[in-house]
Structure 1
Amino acid sequence: MTETPRLLRRSDALAHGYTDAEIRTLCRTGGLHRLRPGAYLAHDAHADLEPSQQHLELVRATLPKVSADAVVSHQSAAALHGLPLWRIPLDRVHVTRVRTSGGRRTRLLHSHCAPLADRDVVETGGLRITSLARTVADLCRTTPFESAVVTGDAALHTGSIRTDDPADALSYAERRPGYPAALRALAFLDGRSESVGESRSRVVLAGLDVPAPELQRSLLDPDGRFLGRVDFLFSDAGVVGEFDGKVKYGKYLRDGQDPGDAVFAEKQREDRIRDAGWEVVRWVWRDLARPEVIGARIHRAMRRAAVRPRPLGEAPRAR
């Protein structure tokens, strides 16, 4: 089998003259990756996909095996919406049926039973999936707080839903397990977060003994010239906080620039902010697993800021 299509079904392979023995051999020798019984991907194609993309292939391979009334939901719907899924299991396809009972979980499929209003179902790519708001509501109820915040922030950041929409979509679950946890997560969501790292940083900062920061604030110099926009601002303490993920430098790239140009531009931006009197604290991915390290850096910066003149620039309020 020289040119394996992206998704190969056993029935199609048999119709083209291949045998079950040949398919088993290809799976054993690495030519094919078995998604589920009767559905395969070329091994190289599967290996090149991100986990969420691998999950989407599992969704497409699984849906023909479930009843027509099933609506793709939870993390499977989030993957189809293009939302980030941080530490959310992707080993099963999730669907929801409008039934009062009969939910079940197998090795590859988790079937939920719950009400679905018309507004809770949309169609994309020929598939019926839960709406963006309902998907966020479901994940806030069924996944850990930090994971739910990452996905929920990203959904709000798209601008496609309002802050209250996921809470409205959650109304079906008032007496279901996970409802209080979902309310807590929904109350914490903020669409101003621009990345997984920034959302996770918000969770970390909320657990530290530091003031609640302002998000995505612009700083001006004494003459009113723009210094830069910062991830987190502890305005009263004279401290700026920045999550330093490598991906963030892409937003500074202009046509014809390379990543080195973006890094240099970011350094110049930080120099301008420091020159105006702000203390700048940075943290990276590995620091998010060590909140005490971030907290110590912020407190040291606050102590330094307390003994030097107040920043010369200002942080204008959003209009």
Structure 2
Amino acid sequence: MSDVLLARAAQWGGVLSSADAAVVGVDRNGLRSLLKAGSVVKVAPRAYVLASALERVTTPEARHRLSTLAILRSFGERVAASHHSALALHGLPFWRVDPEVFHVSRITGRSGRKRGTLHIHESVGRTNLVVFRQSGAVATSPTLAVIGTAMADGVEAGIVAMDAASHRGLTSADLLESTLTAMTHVPDISRARQAFSLVDPSSESVGETRTRLILQAMPGSPRVVPQQVIHDRSGREVARVDFLVGTHVVVEFDGRMKYGMSGNRAEEDLWREKRREDALRELGYVVIRLVWSDLDRPDQVTQRVLAALRQTEGRTTLAGVRG
């Protein structure tokens, strides 16, 4: 019967519950055998994921999504994914969240509690819920998910989530603000309010959001303009840069691990990027390129940018900028 259960779990997207096991005659001892054999992984009480399904995903968000789907299945239709667990279902990125902690909110009932790494929150209104057609899973809306992430995981986690959701059109400043106003007396809502005050929908990735936060925290508060279009003297567009700091310092975030991925395409990209940066430098700009590892050393990034600002003081540009 275990083979039947595993086959059905594969059809369900790689997740199953203890109730699913019971239907096909697999009891607790049978589940323990599957766990011991490494065929399934237990992610919460009564919730399991096929080990083979977990092996096929590589990101924390994707692994968390699978586990969250298993947890939802174990509850039937009584809970919805919430907080950063809802982010995973909405395809939004994580930053500074614990992917081994799961959040659900009751659809019926009011009490909240914790079961180890599973946090069960009080119920939310059905108007704040989204049903995913393919999986049938239920989650809180993107707006409530990003607010909940800030409340549970902190301001920086909330900013990254709000930036991503706003950039993808899953929420808006008006919707975030009205929801925050309605939640005035909810504990920890101040974290979400602080995150909201720093949101910028123009950020296209977690790396850009983190870069912006570093630049905005620099001493002297230099002007930081994201997604700035730069033209030459004739009005021809030269580049859209991630950030223009002051008047002559361009900061670019490169989210690729390295240029040489494979084949001629990577070489073409590298050559195109080099020509673009050469054109910016010819127009009087200093270009600073950041990668993921740089963002873990914000003090060093700050020093590099401040040095570039000092280097370009009083410089006259040969280009123009437009928003």
User: Which moves more between the two structures, 67-76 or 209-218?
Assistant: 67-76
**Paired residue type of 2:195:** A
Residues 84 and 94, structure 2, Cα contact 8 Å, conserved in 1: yes
TM-score for both structures, normalised by structure 1:
0.86
- Counterpart check, 1:94 vs 2:100: no
Following superposition, the deviation at residue 235 of structure 1 comes to 4.1
**Paired residue type of 1:258:** R
d(CA) in 1 for partners of 2:18 and 2:118? 19
Residues 246 and 309, structure 2, Cα contact 8 Å, conserved in 1: no
- Counterpart check, 1:217 vs 2:223: no
Following superposition, the deviation at residue 114 of structure 1 comes to 5.4
1:19-34 to 2 correspondences below 5 Å: 21=29, 23-34=31-42
- Counterpart check, 1:232 vs 2:238: no
Judged with a 3 Å threshold, the aligned counterparts in structure 2 of structure 1 residues 293 and 81 are, in CA distance, closer, same or farther, namely same
Match of 2:312 in 1: 305
d(CA) in 2 for partners of 1:143 and 1:8? 28
Q: Which residue, out of 165, 171, 177, partners 1:167?
A: 177
d(CA) in 2 for partners of 1:302 and 1:186? 29
d(CA) in 2 for partners of 1:96 and 1:20? 27
User: Which moves more between the two structures, 90-99 or 16-25?
Assistant: 16-25
Question: Structure 1, residues 206-240: CA drift from partner, whole Å, max 9, x if none?
Answer: 2211413001011111111111110110243x111
Following superposition, the deviation at residue 268 of structure 1 comes to 1.3
Judged with a 3 Å threshold, the aligned counterparts in structure 2 of structure 1 residues 183 and 229 are, in CA distance, closer, same or farther, namely same
Question: Structure 1, residues 47-106: CA drift from partner, whole Å, max 9, x if none?
Answer: 222222222222222224337443321111111111001121232432223789521011
d(CA) in 2 for partners of 1:77 and 1:244? 28
**Paired residue type of 1:224:** G
d(CA) in 2 for partners of 1:16 and 1:68? 21
Match of 1:315 in 2: 321
Question: Structure 1, residues 256-295: CA drift from partner, whole Å, max 9, x if none?
Answer: 9622221221111111111111111222212212211111
Residues 136 and 166, structure 1, Cα contact 8 Å, conserved in 2: no
Q: Which residue, out of 270, 273, 276, partners 2:280?
A: 273
Judged with a 3 Å threshold, the aligned counterparts in structure 2 of structure 1 residues 19 and 174 are, in CA distance, closer, same or farther, namely closer
SS in 2 for 1:314: strand
Question: Structure 1, residues 126-154: CA drift from partner, whole Å, max 9, x if none?
Answer: 23321122222222222222111111100
Question: Structure 1, residues 297-316: CA drift from partner, whole Å, max 9, x if none?
Answer: 11111122126x41201101
User: Which moves more between the two structures, 283-292 or 4-13?
Assistant: 4-13
Unaligned runs of 5+ in 2: none
Residues 215 and 231, structure 1, Cα contact 8 Å, conserved in 2: yes
Following superposition, the deviation at residue 181 of structure 1 comes to 2.0
Match of 1:65 in 2: 74
Q: Which residue, out of 284, 290, 302, partners 2:291?
A: 284
Match of 1:46 in 2: 54
d(CA) in 2 for partners of 1:117 and 1:20? 34
Following superposition, the deviation at residue 167 of structure 1 comes to 1.8
| Count of residues in Structure 1 that have an aligned counterpart in Structure 2 | 309
TM-score for both structures, normalised by structure 2:
0.85
Following superposition, the deviation at residue 9 of structure 1 comes to 4.4
1:9-158 to 2 correspondences below 5 Å: 9-10=17-18, 12=20, 21=29, 23-49=31-57, 50-66=59-75, 68-97=77-106, 102-113=111-122, 115-116=124-125, 118=127, 120-125=128-133, 126-158=136-168
1:183-222 to 2 correspondences below 5 Å: 183-209=193-219, 210-222=221-233
Residues 249 and 266, structure 1, Cα contact 8 Å, conserved in 2: no
Unaligned runs of 5+ in 1: 251-255
Following superposition, the deviation at residue 39 of structure 1 comes to 4.2
User: Which moves more between the two structures, 145-154 or 60-69?
Assistant: 60-69
User: Which moves more between the two structures, 48-57 or 9-18?
Assistant: 9-18
Residues 155 and 195, structure 2, Cα contact 8 Å, conserved in 1: yes
Question: Structure 1, residues 160-213: CA drift from partner, whole Å, max 9, x if none?
Answer: 322121121123321222122211110100110011100011111222114130
**Paired residue type of 2:85:** S
Query: How much identity, in percent, do the aligned residues show?
Result: 33
SS in 2 for 1:282: strand
d(CA) in 1 for partners of 2:37 and 2:78? 38
SS in 1 for 2:125: coil
